[in-house]
Each structure stands twice: as structure tokens, then as C-alpha cells.
Amino acid sequence: MANDMDTPTPEEQALADEWAAALAEAGDASQDDIDALMNQGSPAPSSPRAPMEEFGSVPKASGPVSLDGPNLDVILDIPVSISMEVGNTDITIRNLLQLNQGSVIELDRLAGEPLDVLVNGTLIAHGEVVVVNEKFGIRLTDVISPSERIKKLR
């Protein structure tokens, strides 16, 4: 049994009823007024339109393409947080609340072991503590390769 094209489905009828209610609220606006409002925001037929691109297509290059890889100049000025980790440990909240001045917390590292250098929480190097102009610093002793850093991000 074929569905008659002139008979609206219940969904179409509900949508038509909603439109009719909205138009009734609009007052005495005629269909010509509504059409004029709808066409007001659309571009003139003679204006040029940008071509549509397929989703997932490779964007066209707008500038010179380098064979060296992506241009990193865009991200070089983004600030990142760098920290040095001497060690860590797990304690209970009870022990945490009992800490006071002079308390000693045992860490999981041996004295003289290299520190971890973290950038935004990701290990990038190991180093040792040095003093530079009466301030602490760190001398990098082992920098993790970029491929290893990428693996750690996953």
C-alpha cells in the first residue's frame, strides 16, 4: 500500500501545527512579510559563493609548504609549566594531618639519584641539583627522546 504524497504524516502534521501556532502569535504578518524576512539575511544571487569542500578532505595550502615538517612558530610562545620532582610517597590523611614543622617524610628515591624534570606533568628529562647565583637550578643529565615523550603522552 503506497502512502499518498498529499497526506501528511503525523510528524509532518505536528510540525505544521507548530508553524501555524507560531504564525498566529506573529499577528497579522502575511506570507509576503515572512518571505521578505527570510530572504533578508540571504546573499544576493549574483554574489560569488565559496566552493563546498568534502568533509575529511585535505585542506588546500595557503602558503609555502616546507618539507622539514610542520611550522612550529605558531606554538613556540605558548607557556608550559616545568617542575622538578625529587621523589614521592603515599601517606594516609591521618598522617598528613599530623605533619608539623620539623616532620620528615621519607621519599621513594635514594640520595644522589637524578631528579625527574616534568613539563605539564610529562617526564622529559632527568637531572641533578646545582646552585646558580645562590638559587637552585638543575643540570640535565638525560633528555628523553621525542619519540619516547610521544609514547608517554598516550
- Dist. CA 84–CA 109, nearest whole Å: 13
Which tens digits make up the pLDDT trace of 57-91? 555 555 554 545 667 778 888 888 989 888 889 99
pLDDT for 142 beyond 80: yes
Q: Fill in the DSSP letter of residue 21.
A: H
pLDDT for 21 beyond 50: yes
pLDDT for 144 beyond 60: yes
pLDDT confidence of residue 96: 92
Q: Could you tell me the end-to-end alpha-carbon distance of the chain, in angstroms, rounded to an integer?
A: 56
Q: Which CATH class is domain 79-100+111-153?
A: mainly beta
pLDDT confidence of residue 91: 93
- Dist. CA 83–CA 121, nearest whole Å: 8
74-83, 94-103, 109-118: which is most confident = 94-103
pLDDT for 49 beyond 80: no
pLDDT confidence of residue 15: 77
Q: Where are the alpha helices (DSSP H) in the chain?
A: 10-25, 31-40, 93-97, 146-153
User: What pTM, to 2 d.p., does this model score?
Assistant: 0.45
Mean pLDDT of the chain: 76
Mean pLDDT of 146-154: 74
Mean pLDDT of 36-48: 57
Strands 115-119 and 135-143: unpaired
Q: How far is CA 130 from CA 81, 86, 104, 107, 123, in A?
A: 20, 13, 23, 20, 19
6-10, 94-98, 145-149: the lowest-pLDDT one: 6-10
pLDDT confidence of residue 65: 46
| Torsion on CA atoms 17, 21, 23, 25, rounded to nearest 10 | 180
Instruction: Indicate the domain borders of the chain.
Output: 79-100+111-153
pLDDT confidence of residue 10: 82
